[in-house]
Chain A
Amino acid sequence: MIPHIAVEKLSFKYGANKSVLEKVSFKVEKGSFVSIVGPNGSGKSTLLKNISASLIPQKGQVFLKSEDIFSIKPKELAAKVAVVPQETMIQFPFTVEETVLMGRMPHQQRFQGDTPEDLAIARWGMELTNTWHLKDRLISEISGGERQRVIVARALTQEPQVLLLDEPTAHLDLQHQMELLELLQSLNKTGQVTVLAVLHDLNLASQFSEYVLLLYQTKVFAAGRPEETLTAHNIRQVYGIEVMITPNEMTGRNNIIPMARSTSKLHSGKNYRLHLICGGGTGTFIMDKLVQYGYQVTCGVLNIGDSDWSKAKSLGLPLVEEAPFTGIRPEIYRKNQELINRADAVVLMPIPFGTGNLGNLEQARNAGKEGKTIILVGNSDLSSRDFTGGKASRVYQEMLDEGAHVLKEPREIFTLLNSLSQQK
């Protein structure tokens, strides 16, 4: 099937400045809802302007169905593609109804007035956007949020197949943000309107769109379903912040909660790798903090569904996982070993040991023998959490003898790591 919009190797720059977009390619299926997200200056609005033929790219092409968008007559294009720009300053005292009726221009002949059908479509647009009651007010005298909805009404009045929106929610309060996005979603679902929106709010993008395009430094950093694109890992790379990603039970989508900035001036953990052996919530606290301080953290072997497992997942950490209540299989241990090999230090949290996870402990001991830093957190008397008939305690003792660091409380790890990473 031919995609509704296809962008192929599009490159754009303003004048002689450096590129704003470089070889951007993606396809939009008919009737889908696509969000374009990315930090300021990543080229989102410019991309939208290229797709609406307001700007002409230096390289690459944009296709609407199979037609080159720049070969379509502007009037024909306006009957198919409507645009809601980022900000509309209107000083001229047109009434709201007149403003919305301008959306009929692409469908009207030059000498034709507004027909009853035009008026009906304009009314439909205003009713959907909850602006019908404003119809006789002056566009120059209503609030920014009302104006934004009027502009959306005008776009709807164009009866477009494609709706392009540049941060349509920027001027809207919480209620109208939701209303507008729900409206777009329903147009999208029932009217088969293809929606392409630049959004700043990652949560809105996550809740409403079927497809997310993440732009970063002039390129497509990631593209796909929201849960594939808006991961903690991608957001860290692109925005430089730590987020917690939790499922939204109501929508079945993910909530994205910003936590802190990724880099810290106090700690220079950037190049220091830690492998965390934890479980049952013992690692939740330090995992978060370590990531915030900029350490590169890996985890293993974690049981799927364990609280530390979901935490590591939500932080987007590389981890090795195993189905719960089964022993850890050899190939999983091998993967864990790979992570350990790459780490500068292995941190062992106070978890109980049974025959199923004794291998974790042995891998840590071996790493210590190979000269990696070993950090043992918690009471070093293992009797209360050794369910291996003493095997675990013996391995633990070996590590102590090898000179592993022992910390009574998890938070002590930050001071220790700070000095260790500086030595490195």
Chain B
Amino acid sequence: MPYPAKQLWHLLIAVGMLGLFVIMIFCFTLGPANITFGETLVLLLAKIPFLGQLFDLSRYPETHQVILYQVRLPRVILAALVGAALAAVGTTFQGIFRNPMADPYIIGVSSGAALGAAIAIVTGLSVMLGMWALPLAAFLGAVLSTWLVYNLARVGGRVPVYTLLLAGVALSAFMSALMSFVMIVNASELQQIIFWMLGSFSGRDWSHVLVAAPVIILGIISLWVFSRDLNAMLFGEETAQHLGIETEKLKKILLVLSAITVAAAVSVSGTIGFVGLIIPHMVRLFTGPDHRILLPVAALTGASFMVITDTFARVALAPTEIPVGIITAFFGGPFFIYLLKRKKSNLF
């Protein structure tokens, strides 16, 4: 048996969760500020109810507590959420489209979000309306572009996946052109826009976590609920219909769930590439194509991967931050190629 048996699925998910937890703790302890490993652990344990009473925090500087609680902790959690969202949606889209090239941005989410963000930046909305203007503009851009693509692709009450893909590619190109134009005529904001597009968790705090977390967690769980239907979709829409699935309805539900989940992720982090494309493939090599196990493991792996890459982004050239989107592709790409060569199996 090349893939883990069903009896091991629960174990696999538990291991994934444990792994993510350990990675999050470990990355939490790393950072440019000169805080020792022991101190980070104590400060973290102190936050646990009852157990926290055992620790005396007075000997640690106040600034360290602020750095750990207000800067690192929300950042690590947010990275995990975004990574999970991108990987889960990437998995879903590869399933719906039966296409290995599909990623969360395939139907225009990223270009829509980027256009929204760029408009917020150049019009000064992001300055006028405070910190939420930019994420909100990006979220609206992402959801609107998906809605537009869906309606463009509709042919007589049906939405064929190939039309959907092509409409997504076409609208993405159009919106990218618009955005390039916006960037050229507003050269002064060029750097800000590019940095946003490359993606980063720099400067994100608990409010970002509180906004994104419910949307992303609910989104991923809802997608998981449909994993058996997604399995049937892999056999083609006609077969799925013969197995009793209302494919048009299913596609609509999955697209809405995916669009909202990804939009939430993108709005707080920018358009981080690669994770949503490669993590699903990477995990599929080990779990097989069954979405009941693939989707949760991909989400957990995506989360872990994002936490690690973000930590690298903030630590490697400290105090300079590298946009995390650069790191994800820089290390993830070669690693994935290595896996591919070793497994010697075809992807799909």
Interface string of A87-112 (1 = CB under 8 A from B): 01111111100110011011000110
Asked whether, in the complex, the Cβ of B243 is within 8 Å of the Cβ of A102, the reply is: yes
CB pair B234 A106 closer than 8 Å: no
B129 at the interface (CB under 8 A from A): no
Contact B231 A94 (CB under 8 A): yes
Residues of A within 8 A of B225 (CB): 110-111
Q: Tell me the smallest distance from the CB of A291 to a CB of chain B, in Å.
A: 42
Cβ contacts B215-251/A at 8 Å (1 or 0 each): 0000000000100100110111011011111100000
Taking a contact as CB atoms under 8 Å apart, the answer to whether A94 and B1 are in contact is no
Given contacts A92-B234, A94-B231, A136-B1, contact A85 B242 (CB under 8 A): yes
26 A–B pairs (Cβ distance < 8 Å), ordered by A: A52-B242, A54-B238, A54-B241, A74-B244, A74-B246, A79-B244, A88-B235, A89-B236, A90-B234, A92-B234, A92-B235, A92-B289, A93-B3, A93-B288, A93-B345, A94-B288, A94-B289, A94-B290, A95-B3, A98-B231, A102-B231, A102-B232, A102-B243, A105-B228, A105-B232, A105-B245
Q: Does A290 contact B (CB under 8 A)?
A: no
Most chain A C-beta atoms within 10 Å of own C-beta, residue among B225, B235, B239, B241: B235
Given contacts A105-B244, A110-B225, is CB(A85)–CB(B290) below 8 Å?
A: no
* Chain A residue nearest to B237 in the complex (CB): A54
A53–B235 alpha-carbon span in the complex (Å): 18
Chain B residue at minimal CB-CB distance from A160: B242
As a 0/1 sequence over residues 269 to 289 of chain B, the CB contacts with chain A under 8 angstroms (1 = contact) are: 000000000000000000011
Q: Is A138 an interface residue (CB 8 A)?
A: yes
Chain A residue contacts of B346, Cβ below 8 A: 91
Q: Is A198 an interface residue (CB 8 A)?
A: no
B289 touching A93, Cβ below 8 Å: yes
Asked if A78 is at the interface (CB within 8 A of a chain B CB), the reply is yes
Q: CA of A362 to CA of B127 in the docked complex: distance in angstroms?
A: 113
B319 within 8 A of A: no
Number of cross-chain contacts by CB at 8 Å: 69
Q: Mark A114-130, 1 if CB is under 8 A from B, else 0.
A: 00000000000000000
Q: Which residue of the partner chain, among A54, A91, A98, A136, contacts B242 with CB atoms under 8 Å?
A: A54
A76 vs B246: C-alpha distance in the bound complex, in angstroms?
Answer: 11
Give which listed residue, B1, B235, B242, B348, contacts A78 with CB less than 8 A.
B242
B49 in contact (CB, < 8 A): no
With a 10 A CB-CB cut-off, give which of B2, B241, B243, B346 has the most chain A CB atoms: B243
Q: How distant is the Cα of A79 from the Cα of B243 in the complex, in angstroms?
A: 8
Residues of B that sit less than 8 Å from A by CB: 1-3, 98, 225, 228, 231-232, 234-236, 238-239, 241-246, 288-290, 345-346, 348
**B288 contacts across to A, CB distance below 8 A:** 93-95
Contact with B along A266-279 (1 / 0, CB 8 A): 00000000000000
Nearest residue (CB) in B for A158 is B243
| Cβ B238 vs Cβ A103 within 8 A | no
Q: Does A83 make an interface contact (CB < 8 A)?
A: yes
Q: How far, in whole Å, are A91 and B236 apart by their CA atoms in the complex?
A: 10
Tell me if A223 is interfacial: C-beta within 8 Å of chain B: no
User: Using Cβ atoms and an 8 Å threshold, which residues of chain A touch B348?
Assistant: 91-92
Given A92-B234, A136-B1, the answer on whether A106 and B243 have CB atoms closer than 8 Å is yes
B interface secondary structure, majority: loop
| B245 and A85 contacting across the interface, CB-CB below 8 Å | no
Shortest beta-carbon distance from B122 to chain A in Å: 44
Shortest CB-to-CB span from B95 to chain A, Å, is 9
Q: Is A134 an interface residue (CB 8 A)?
A: no
Determine the chain A residues whose CB is within 8 A of the CB of B236 once the complex forms. Answer: 88-89
Report the separation of the CA atoms of residues A78 and B240 in the bound assembly, to the nearest whole angstrom. Answer: 10
Chain A residues contacting B1 (CB-CB under 8 Å) are 95, 136
Known contacts A91-B348, A93-B288, A94-B290: does B244 contact A102 (CB below 8 Å)? no
A82 at the interface (CB under 8 A from B): yes
Q: Do A83 and B242 touch across chains, with their CB atoms under 8 A apart?
A: yes
Decide yes or no whether A170 CB sits under 8 A from chain B. no
Q: Give A209-235 as 1s and 0s: 1 = Cβ < 8 Å from B's Cβ atoms.
A: 000000000000000000000000000
B289 touches A106 (CB 8 A): no
CB within 8 Å of B: which A116-158 residues: 136, 138, 158
Residue of A nearest to B242 (CB): A83
Rounded to whole angstroms, the CA-CA distance of A343 and B75 in the bound complex is 97
| CB neighbors of B among A385-423 (8 A) | none
Instruction: Say yes or no: is A369 at the interface (Cβ < 8 Å to chain B).
Output: no
- With A85-B238, A91-B348, A93-B2 already in contact, the answer to whether A105 and B289 are too (CB < 8 A) is no
Q: Are B239 and A88 in contact (CB under 8 A)?
A: yes
Give the nearest-CB partner of B226 in chain A. Answer: A110
A75 within 8 A of B: yes
Nearest chain A CB to B238's CB is how many angstroms away?
A: 6
- Against B, the Cβ 8 Å flags (1 = close, 0 = not) of A256-271 are 0000000000000000
Q: How far is the CB of B81 from chain A (nearest CB, A)?
A: 25
